[in-house]
Amino acid sequence: MKPEIKRDISDILCEARGVINQLRTVVSVWDRTFDVKDVDTEEQALCWLTLNLSTEALELIREAENITR
């Protein structure tokens, strides 16, 4: 792989990791802000779905980073 392409891919993966980590932080703060009784089941489900998807996305980014090294 050409070095410039490898560098571009690494930059994109780094940015993606940053965005996902920010999303996880927002969801975590949101989850701690409300008591369970204050949050309806759809909101709780969305919160957990977001965390689960972001965890999977981070794992895919790690795998992609290993490929580009």
Count the neighbouring beta carbons within 10 Å of the beta carbon of residue 11. Answer: 10
| Contact between 24 and 1 (Cβ < 8 Å) | no
- 31/25 Cα distance (integer angstroms): 10
pTM, 2 dp = 0.64
Residue 65 pLDDT grade (very low, low, confident, very high; cuts 50, 70, 90): confident
- Residue 3, judged by CB atoms within 10 A of its CB (0-12, 13-18, 19+), counts as exposed
∠ Cα 23 19 37 (to 5°) = 0
Structural domain spans, the chain:
3-68
Q: 40 versus 38: which is more confidently predicted?
A: 40
